[in-house]
Amino acid sequence: MRYKVKLNKTHIGYAIWCPALPGCWTLGETEEEALENIKHAIKAYLETMDEVNQNAELRYVEVR
């Protein structure tokens, strides 16, 4: 599956995150390293969410 990621050059390398997966981000010293790291971060994120959601109950809340 393909995910859109955002890459930002910083003074220490590259920050990269996946907007579709809140909190899924990582760093890399090079652009290539950052891209490789986000692949691992996305996989770990999805595996964790599968585990967390396994026995979760769905609720709705109203916010005004």
pLDDT in tens, 18-42: 999 999 999 999 999 999 999 999 9
Using CA atoms, how far apart are residues 26 and 62, in angstroms rounded to an integer? 33
> What is the domain range of residue 46?
6-53
The pLDDT score that the predictor gives to residue 3 is 98
The answer to the question of residue 64 being in a domain is: no
- The reply to whether 58 falls in a domain is no
Average pLDDT over residues 38-62: 95
The CA–CA distances, whole Å, from 11 to 7, 15, 23, 37 equal 13, 10, 21, 18
Q: Is 28 inside any structural domain?
A: yes
Q: Does residue 17 belong to any structural domain of this protein?
A: yes
Q: Are 24 and 41 in contact, with CB atoms under 8 Å apart?
A: yes
For 62, which DSSP code? Answer: -
User: 31 in a domain, yes or no?
Assistant: yes
- pTM of the full structure: 0.84
Q: What is the CA radius of gyration of the chain?
A: 15
Note whether residue 1 is domain-resident: no
- Mean per-residue pLDDT over the chain, rounded: 96
